[in-house]
Every structure is written in C-alpha cells, then in structure tokens.
Structure 1
Amino acid sequence: MRIVGVRRSHTDSAVEVAALSEQGDEVTIVAPLADFWADPARHLSQPPAGPTLAVASVERVPPVLPDARVFCIGLNYSDHAAEGSFRDEELPPYPTLFARWPQSLSVDGAEVPVPSNEDGLDWEGEVVAWVGAPLVDATPEEAQASVVGYSAFNDLTARRAQKLTSQWILGKNGDRSGPIGPIVPAAEVGDLKQGLRLQTRVNGETVQDARTDRMIYSVGETLSLISHTLTLRPGDLLATGTPAGVGYARTPPRLLQPGDVVEVEVERLGTVRNTVVGNEHRSAGNS
C-alpha cells in the first residue's frame, strides 16, 4: 500500500488520504486527513472503502496535518559528517535536530524553486519515519513500535541561508523544498537497520548511494529522546538524515540549477522525482 494526500479540486482546501494504485494512475480515498491520523494503524490495516478517482483528476499534496512537527536529524551518517569535516570523535552523543515547517513540504513531481539569493539547491536523499501513536517519555523500543510508515524524502537545502548562522532552519525551509513520497506501511518496510538502499540521482547520474543501516542515531532512539521533552503525536515526522555525496562537499561544489532533475530512490519506498526551477516560479500563491 502507498498512501498519499489529495485534494479533489484545486479550489477545494480539504485534504483527504488516499491509497495509490500499483500503476500510479488511480487513488482510492481512505479517510479525511484528520480522521486518518486519529487512528492511522486502523486505516492501514483495512482496505480503503472510499471512491476511486483518476490521479489526473486530483491534486497531490503531502498527507501532513497542518500542526504536525517535522523533526530532522543532521549528520546522521558518519561518511556525511566526515565530508563536512567532522571526525568520529567529534560527533555529539545526541543527534543534532532541526525543524521544518509542514508548509515547506511538497510531493513527487513538484517543481522546486531556487531562492533569489542562492547559487542553487543542494540535494539530501533521506528516509522519513511517520509517528502513529502518542509518545511521552517513551523507550526506544516503544518509540520504534509507534512508527506507522516510512517515505522517501529529499531535504533540498539552501546552503547560503543555512550557513548564515549556527541555526539551520532558514536554509531548510525554502518553498516546496521538502518533496516527500507516499507513506509505505512499516509492516511492509521492516526495520531500517536491515539496510535499505538509498540512492540520489541528478539528471540520471548517481550522486548518493548508501544503506540505512549506516545511520548513527536510530529512529527509535531519536524519537525516544524527543518524547522526553515534548509529546509526540500521530502525524509527526522524523527525517532521518542523509549519507555522503551532497553537492556542497564536492570539489568544486555542485548545486542544482533550474532544469535539473533530482531523484531520491529508497528500496521498498519508491522514488521521489522533482525538477528544479528558477526563482521566478516563487510567488505568494505558489509557495
């Protein structure tokens, strides 16, 4: 099963959760967005009973609650930390966390604009874990068990903005800069420790190729850590970090330019494919 968010028309603000067909040309409505996240495990355990619609007749949107929290791990693969000049002994004992806002998320096929003060965008292929149950002071095992699904994700980054200060949030929240793939139920994916292959391609060239068992901080450990400070809720997201191969660390540095096509493919999760466009595509009604 692959779960996506849809609007039935571009003028309808109501988001519904739907199951995408194997061919990718139809969706079957599962539930309204809030109803789905009120009990995601139940909805994922039974066949969708709503109407079936052509994908061409709906607008694809992230199946994300407006008040969801999007937590992101920085430097979660040692090879990526090394290309950023961090030695193993310098890695912190706890994950470096930053936040995205739900409004920065987009979907497979969305055009992602380069902000006017950037030389381009950098790619960061990742896996997102979706929280499916409330978590308060959870153990790592409880936190891992709460994960209801996973998605492929591209944490497209505005590096100049990211490096203006010690805080990364500005560079991580560009318009439509977080394309996220369909939710695949955790029961169909298994544990990321088994080593799912993650690849990022730019115009068909592989620029990242790694496996998820190389993560430093696991999903369960990180969600457990967060839950000891704030209550996690169904629909919250954790982006698990990117491996080596990002553009800014290359010699010379390489960034995505308008017209470039970037793909993140994760074993069992599918591919998120997006085209980079110029800043003229940014507007108040298009962000």
Structure 2
Amino acid sequence: MKLVGYVNGQGESAIGSLGDADTIVPLATMREFYQDGFRIAERAAPAGEPIKRSGLTLLPVVPETARVFCVAINYLGHAAEAEEVGIARPVVPMIFGRWASTLVVDGASIPVPPREEGLDWEVELAAVIGRPTYDVDEATAMESILGYAVFNDISARQVQLETPQFTLGKNADRSGPIGPLVIDPTLDPHDLNLRTRVNGETVQQGNTRDMVFKLPQVISHISRSVTLLPGDVIATGTPEGIGASMKPPRLMGPGDVVEVEVEKLGVVRNTITKPGSH
C-alpha cells in the first residue's frame, strides 16, 4: 500500500492511499493516522469515496511535528568521498537533523539558495516511525517502523562544509523531497537498489545492503537519547556518487531535473529553480 498526504475538503492535513493513476482513497486525518497508523494501515478502511488526485494540494506524508533524523556517511563508498574533504568515517551512527518544514513532495520545485553555486543530490531510503520508541534494543527496533519512502537529501554544499556542523547545508528551503509512504511487511530494507538521475543521466547508484549502520542499530542508538515519535523520519544515508566528489565537481542549477529512485518504493522527481523561486 502506498500512502500520500493531502489537504482534504475541510482544509485539514490528511492521509490517503493511492488508487489508480489519478485517485486517492481517504483514510484519516494526519493527526488521526499517526495516533494509530499500524491499525489504520492494517484495516485500510476508506474514510470516504475516492477523490481525484489532480487539483489536490499534496503534502509530505508525515506530520508537521515530525523530526527528520539523518544518518551521515553511512555507506562505505560515501565514507571514502567524505574523507577527501576531511570528514572521518564515524564509529557510531552520526546523526544530524532536518526540519519538517524543508520537506516537499514529488513534483515540487526546489530553489538554489542565493549564495550557493548549485545543489547536490543524495538518494536515500527513509523509514517512518509508527509508535513511540525509547531505549529499544536492536532485536526489536524494526517493530517501530511503519513504512518506507524515497528521500532526496538535497544539500547546499558551500554552507554545509564551512563548519563541522551540517545544519544549514541540510535545511535549505524546500530541499527535502520525500515520496509516498510504502507499507509492506515483506519488504527487506537492507537489499534495495538506489539510483539518482539528473536530466535523465544516471549519476549515482548503490544498494542498501552496503549501509555501515543498519536500521536496527540506528533506531536503537537514537532511542537511547531521544524518544522517537509516530511520524518521525530516519533518512538512512546515501551511497557514493554525490556531485561534490566528482572531478570536476558537479552541482544542479536552475532547469535541471533530478530523479531519485529506490527499488520497490518508486521515484521522486523535482526541478531545480533559480534562487527565491517557489
């Protein structure tokens, strides 16, 4: 089942399942869904008649209160790229945060910040948390995951690399495209192909089996300090092939179209625009 967020007829944030190419089946408001997403997803009972997707305002499929926990340098190949700019391979999961306000949907435009030469791509698997999780062990950590989504951790490299702190470079306006929430209990998140295309050219590819820290380790590590809440997102890192590590470096500018794809989850496609555009 693939779920999307949208604004319903009452002006509320809502969750629905994708029907055919142009319909959404209402399931619940965003608030109701993340109070008991496991139960709602299991019964998948429509909360109304299917509605046309075209004409709706689509939203990221997580609440505005979501925290986005990103795992830095979590693939061996990407660790080698990071070492070239002086960032050592982490010995425990290296976590930085994104604000939910940076999240956008498939098809949204993404502006280049005014003082950046361009933007970089990072295809990632994202896991969405479905229940409150605190101090969980690795053996049971996966029980907290509600579903998975495609994520593009678009990065403003100039400001990111000015200091050891990633916050500004990872929180540019509208820089976090995230795809539908896929709920599939049979999905193995540690054996999925990932790919990035810019203007149709494949520029990055890898497989989630090459993660340094797998999801059970990451969830357990975060939950020792922070209670993970329903709707929180864990972005699991990107494989090698970022634009900043190409020789010469390559960044995306206005007019470029970036597509990130995770096997079995889908594709998220966005257009880069000039500074200040929305």
Q: TM-score range by the shorter chain?
A: over 0.9
Find the aligned partners of 2:4 and 2:158 in 1 and give their Cα distance. 32
Matched-pair contact (CA < 8 Å) for 1:181–1:272: yes
Partner residue, 1:279:
275
Matched-pair contact (CA < 8 Å) for 1:15–1:63: no
Partner residue, 1:7:
7
Find the aligned partners of 1:203 and 1:242 in 2 and give their Cα distance. 20
Partner residue, 2:101:
103
Regions of 4+ moved over 3 Å: none
CA shift, 1:8, in A, is 3.2
Any unmatched runs of 5+ in structure 1? 283-287
Post-superposition CA distance 1:90-149 (Å, at most 9, x none) = 522211110000000000000000000000000000010001111111011221111110
Letter in structure 2 aligned against 1:134: P
Find the aligned partners of 2:11 and 2:251 in 1 and give their Cα distance. 34
Match of 1:217 among 199, 213, 219: 213
CA shift, 1:57, in A, is 2.5
Find the aligned partners of 2:276 and 2:29 in 1 and give their Cα distance. 34
Find the aligned partners of 1:47 and 1:232 in 2 and give their Cα distance. 24
Partner residue, 1:70:
68
Letter in structure 2 aligned against 1:33: M
Q: Report the identity percentage.
A: 44
Once the two structures are superposed, the pairs formed by residues 98-137 of structure 1 within 5 Å of their partners are: 98-137=96-135
Q: Secondary structure at the match of 1:5?
A: strand
Partner residue, 2:188:
191
Matched-pair contact (CA < 8 Å) for 1:17–1:33: yes
Matched-pair contact (CA < 8 Å) for 1:113–1:277: yes
Post-superposition CA distance 1:231-279 (Å, at most 9, x none) = 1111111000000000000010000010000001111100000000001
Q: Secondary structure at the match of 2:140?
A: helix
Find the aligned partners of 1:187 and 1:98 in 2 and give their Cα distance. 28
Match of 1:58 among 39, 44, 56: 56
Any unmatched runs of 5+ in structure 2? none
Find the aligned partners of 1:218 and 1:86 in 2 and give their Cα distance. 24
CA shift, 1:280, in A, is 3.4
Matched-pair contact (CA < 8 Å) for 2:93–2:221: no
Q: Secondary structure at the match of 2:139?
A: helix
User: TM-score, normalized by length of structure 1?
Assistant: 0.92
Partner residue, 1:151:
149
User: TM-score, normalized by length of structure 2?
Assistant: 0.95
Matched-pair contact (CA < 8 Å) for 1:28–1:48: no
Post-superposition CA distance 1:185-211 (Å, at most 9, x none) = 1415x2222x11110000010011111
Partner residue, 1:285:
none
CA shift, 1:86, in A, is 6.2
CA shift, 1:220, in A, is 1.2
CA shift, 1:85, in A, is 2.1
**48-57 or 173-182: which moved more?**
48-57
Partner residue, 1:202:
198
Partner residue, 1:256:
252
Post-superposition CA distance 1:25-69 (Å, at most 9, x none) = 111111000100001111111233122111112111102222211
- 48 and 261 in structure 1: CA distance in 2 versus 1, 3 angstrom threshold: farther
Kindly report the root-mean-square deviation, in angstroms, between the aligned alpha carbons of the 2 structures.
1.5
Letter in structure 2 aligned against 1:29: P
Matched-pair contact (CA < 8 Å) for 1:8–1:57: no
**176-185 or 65-74: which moved more?**
65-74
Find the aligned partners of 2:199 and 2:19 in 1 and give their Cα distance. 27
Find the aligned partners of 2:45 and 2:119 in 1 and give their Cα distance. 38
Matched, 1:36 2:42: no
Matched-pair contact (CA < 8 Å) for 1:259–1:277: yes
Matched-pair contact (CA < 8 Å) for 2:83–2:89: no
Match of 2:238 among 238, 242, 254: 242
Match of 2:24 among 24, 27, 35: 27
